Chains A and B, each alone.
Chain A
Amino acid sequence: MADVEANVQDEFFDSLLGDFLDESDQLLVQLNANLLDLDEWAGTLEEGEAARCDDDLMNEMFRAAHSIKGLSGMLGLDQINNMTHKIENIFDAARKDQLTLNCDTVELVFQSVDRLGALIEALKDPDADEVDCEGIFADIQKLLQEAGVEKTQATQADAERALALALEEAASSPPELSESPPSPEPSVPAAATVDYMQGVVDEQSVPAKYLSIFIDETDLSLDSLTDELLALEADGGGAADDGLLVVSHRIKGSAASVGLNRPAKLAHYMEDILQDLRENNAPLTAELTDVMLKCTDALRTYVEGLKVNNPQSSQFGALIGELVEAQEKARQSNSVAAEPEATSASPQADQPAIPIDETISSVDRTDEGLTDELLRQIAASAPQGIAAFTGVVYFDPELDLVGLKARLAFEKLSALGKVFYCDPPLEELDDLEQLKGLTFALSSEQSSERICSHLRFAGVQRLQLDPLPEELLQSAREETKQPQSTPAAVSQPPPKVSPAAAKKPAPAAAEAQSKGRAAEPSGKPAETLRVDIDRLDELMNLAGQLVINKARFSQIGEKMRPLIANKQTAHLLANAISSLEKMANDDGQNQRSPEANMEIIRSHARRILADLENVNRDVRRFVDARGSVSELYEAIHQLDRVTDGIQKSVMDTRMVPVGPLFTRFKRVIRDITRNSGKEMRLVIRGEKTELDKRMIDELGDPLIHMVRNSADHGIESPEERERAGKPRQGTVTLDAFHRGNSIVIQVSDDGKGLDLDKIREKALERGIVSKADLDQMTPDQMYQLIWEPGFSTAEKVTEISGRGMGMDIVRSKIEAINGTVELDSTPGKGSVFSIKLPLTLAILPSLMAEIDGDVIAIPVESVVEIVSVGSDATSTVHGQRTATVRGRVVSVVQLRDLFVWNSPARDCDRSSEGDDTTLVIIGSDGEELGLVVDRLLGEEDIVIKSMAENYRNVRGVAGASILGDGRVSLILDIATLIEMSAKLDTSAVTV
């Protein structure tokens, strides 16, 4: 049994670990990006200058570190927890001005974050080396000690503890604000709830992209929270398990990390209580479960609200009150004897919590009390110069016609002064069947006693009335001056929108303007869904099959067209029939020939006639079928459109912007800058260009290599650059853009360009080419030598570029995703690597051609042109056929000379010698080749099928594809083909 339990826990832990890795990866990326900003900022500082860093940046980093800390602590990953704690301390000290940030500090943080990254990596790979953190710890310790801020506690924790203490006091002392004597009203601490949410305000401009992630995650978390709670309840209570704790922590974390402090607060309380229960081994009581479920509902309502930019968080305060209360009660029932005075301190605790059968909306209406937000909102619309009151009239729960009573209360209030806030609004009062209390705000000259006396009438159970705090009025008035203040609330339908929330939707633009920040589009945040990429692959595969099937249908339709007899045939047939008819019915009035003879002819004619009539019927049916065929045609067209749509949508699903991939290289450049003493910057362009996710994944390694190559070998030292009349700072540019049917990614630098002498030297030394060959090469051809295996232009293998991955591997990696890579270099000006990628991995626009009876696909992107050359335009050079095409000499190859076939060609109806030859000029890396084809079949989008899946790769063949008729055709690998032909060329021997 114990084993089983351990297994379950392991599984649970694994899934949590997965989540942690997922989340921490994102957080690390964010941390790194922020650090780079910080680094830039620190770099602009003069020596010894003390400046304050951007608070937002600091807070963001603190939050990221804190989130990792929290998650790792939960999972018991002590080392990571420790490390993040230290990092967090630095940020905390910095944002409190206890620590001055400079380049060295930033470097230290960089190192720590790297170490943290290594620690997290080590989780993924159990065989990874131990990550040594002690050195870093000591450094941080020293740094903080020097700054005089070394602490034993995380400040956040301190703050939380202090808050919790304050809350306990608030919960255990009788509510002071209530005017009525303690009554069995369950939600008495409503007045106190104002304190729970005091000062807790959601951040006002949460970028839509984070918001959507939050919504997405929290939806899931809430689901599991509800599940767990319900499961617990079904089990009849019992100990709360860690799952609940983890989930509530996760909600807290993700809410806090996007700045939604209100839900974070609520989740925090839930977590605290669960933690407390766990520590005391106490069971989760039914009340607690109820309240927790209610909190879950409230959070869900809040999240739903977020989706339409109208989050409702006003009941959070009340819910926290209930939570604290329920916890208190649970604690008492656990230790009645131990804490007798606690009972007297909070008499309400004996009362049951809010009955569960109440709908959420009624909880909304009545139990919230007056939250801070509400107060502020009310204050904003308060008329000036007159004392203002807020209050709640609580009605008897069993009261009939409560709406009328409420109206009565409203009218009484109106008589006393001006009611400028009322919830529920006046218009709704008549229709209400259930109402616990009427919340109002009144500006009046009367004293509070007088107002109270007016309101005491039958059915009113309790009254609560407070003057509106002066400072609130003051601050609210200031807010009113701003254009985005909330409109007066008197007749506003459920005015539960907190000021913070109310500002979020429409006035977001104004908000952004006033803050001088780029505004995220304020529409509702896009909902996202995490999908396993394998499923997308599968979908892509299916879409590919659909494309093939569609092509097949088109072919069938095409074939059927001529099969249908046309109208003319039917006509002719009809004519023949009618003339035969005449003949057959000719009873021979002028009988000159023997009658018997005539009779035979007639009977023959009749028989033919009968036959023909049958044929005629069939033909007519055919004519009808024509209609059906054109219908089929129509349907195929429709299918065509739908298929294209599906294919495109599936492709789009997999497309992600290249930006995040590019951003990774900022760090690479920064490190090189630091280590090499060179000055350079990275310019990123076209970061919005989208690429298939798989390609992005595959591109990381080759790109890193190219960027390092440019930075390390291309960019000169500042002095050298100055001598060459260039700015001291070098530039490495990453660019992505569409070109035709492909996407180009360029890595360029403004350095010295490739060193031809070194290439020459190296090529000879490594025996890549012979001296004679080298002498004949153009500079451009020599540049291409760097792609040869075993070639590296670095004089000494540096830490940066010499990580073993040669340019040949870069190239093969890119070719593995059907891309090509080209290099262009100008001495003194720099070099450009261009990676050309197909728009998608699976579908390739190709030129279909027939060669020796085989249908062969040639990728369109490799086709330079198609020409027809006469025999006079071809000649032989060194036994190799060449053709002159527009002044260029192109070698002409037959596929059968390059490939070794093991079976004879299907048929050989090739055009006889002397006729014009059709050449498809194919090109790669600037080299061209004329491929002889027998017949061109046209262009088609083909689906690439892997040959290695069930067999293996074949040299010169990029893959296979399925044609419309179900046959398999081979896709040529142009680059390899050219290579093969070059070998053929140099050896001058046909295989």
Chain B
Amino acid sequence: MSTALDQIPVGETGVAEGSGTLQLVSFRLASEEYGIEITKVREIILMGEITRVPQTPEYIKGLINLRSTVIPIVDLRLRFALPQEKVSDETRIMVVNVAGKTIGIIVDAVNEVLRVSQEQIAPPPPTVAGLGREYLTGLVKLDKRLLILLDIDKILGEDATEAVEEIASNGK
């Protein structure tokens, strides 16, 4: 059911292990490639049945049972206002630790584990505006690709206030 992290191909970036390096798990969402620090990722599982939950923002797909613990699932496509896509063979749920909580995020595919050095990370350009801007901590420049570094802690962070507002408006 779950894919162990070490089964993910390890990308070669030619960076030696050192103090300034960062290990990332990269994944694909729509046509873009993202990276999350490996220390935040607990495991990667296949899509299963998700129980929907009322009174939540759209991107909260619902709850699943992760070995007897109930965790919420965030649809990153919906979170970043990307068009919906059918679940494919490559769709995965990444179980990540966020601010003391465990959540699952749906991604289109998990690519690899790679090591990057701090020099390879650039701040996000101001031109990347709009939705999702606040979740980005930087861009990683690889040979031919560009990796978007995601600040996963912010994924759930905001929705508490949003949800409260939503409920308040429901009540009326």
Contact = CB atoms under 8 A, between A and B. Distances in A.
A548 B68 contact: yes
Residue among A541, A950, A969 with most chain B CB within 10 A? A950
A545 B68 CA distance: 6
A590 interface: no
Interface string A949-979: 1111011110010100011111000000000
A305 B63 CA distance: 57
Nearest to B54: A899
Contacts of A902: 52, 54, 56-58, 60
B170 A991 contact: yes
A277 B28 CA distance: 74
Given A967-B49, A991-B170, A899 B101 contact: no
Contacts of A955: 55, 167, 170
A945 B60 CA distance: 18
Say which size band chain A's interface belongs to.
Answer: 20 to 34
A945 B66 CA distance: 12
B170 A900 contact: yes
A973 to B, nearest CB: 11
A950 B55 contact: no
B163 interface: yes
A903 B70 contact: no
Given A902-B58, A903-B62, A962-B65, A950 B52 contact: no
A962 B54 CA distance: 17
A16 interface: no
Interface in B56-102: 56-58, 60-65, 68-72, 101-102
B103 A954 contact: no
Contacts of B102: 950
A467 to B, nearest CB: 77
Interface in B14-64: 49, 51-58, 60-64
Contacts of B171: 980, 983
B69 A960 contact: no
B36 to A, nearest CB: 17
A991 B103 CA distance: 29
B144 interface: no
Contacts of A991: 170
Contact of B101 (A548, A903, A950, A968): A950
Given A854-B51, A967-B51, A947 B160 contact: no
A952 B163 contact: yes
A902 B62 CA distance: 9
B43 to A, nearest CB: 14
B172 to A, nearest CB: 7
Chain B contact residues: helix, strand, loop or mixed: mixed
A968 B72 contact: no
Given A950-B71, A968-B70, A991-B170, A901 B51 contact: no
Contacts of B58: 902-903
A950 B103 contact: yes
A957 B170 CA distance: 15
Interface residues of B, number: 31
Given A946-B70, A950-B72, A960 B52 contact: no
Nearest to B167: A955
A987 interface: yes
Contacts of A950: 69-72, 101-103
A966 B101 CA distance: 21
Contacts of A947: 53, 63, 70, 72
B111 to A, nearest CB: 26
Contact of A960 (B54, B70, B172): B70
Interface in B152-172: 156, 160, 163, 166-167, 170-172
Contacts of B68: 541, 544-545, 548, 945, 962
A803 B116 CA distance: 58
A960 B54 CA distance: 12
B73 to A, nearest CB: 10
A524 to B, nearest CB: 40
Contacts of B55: 899-900, 954-957
B170 A960 contact: no
A980 B65 CA distance: 28
A265 B160 CA distance: 63
Interface string A544-565: 1100100000000000000000
B51 A970 contact: yes
A952 B160 contact: yes
Contacts of B156: 951
A946 B102 CA distance: 13
Contact of B70 (A899, A901, A962, A983): A962
Nearest to A946: B70
Given A900-B170, A949-B101, A954 B64 contact: no
B51 A969 contact: yes
A869 B53 CA distance: 28
Contact of B172 (A945, A970, A987): A987
A951 B65 contact: no
A45 B88 CA distance: 86
Contacts of B170: 900, 955, 991
Interface string A823-863: 00000000000000000000000000000001000000000
Contacts of B72: 947, 950-951
A967 B53 contact: no
23 contacts: A900-B54, A900-B55, A900-B166, A902-B54, A903-B52, A903-B62, A945-B68, A945-B70, A947-B63, A947-B70, A947-B72, A950-B69, A950-B70, A951-B72, A952-B160, A954-B54, A955-B167, A957-B54, A967-B65, A968-B51, A968-B63, A970-B53, A970-B63
Given A945-B70, A968-B65, 18 more contacts: A854-B51, A899-B54, A901-B52, A901-B54, A902-B54, A903-B61, A945-B68, A946-B70, A949-B69, A949-B70, A950-B69, A950-B72, A951-B63, A954-B54, A954-B55, A962-B70, A968-B63, A970-B51
Interface of A: 541, 544-545, 548, 854, 899-903, 945-947, 949-952, 954-957, 960, 962, 966-970, 980, 983, 987, 991
Closest A-B pairs by Cβ, 9 of them: A899-B54, A951-B72, A968-B51, A968-B63, A945-B70, A902-B58, A960-B70, A545-B68, A950-B101
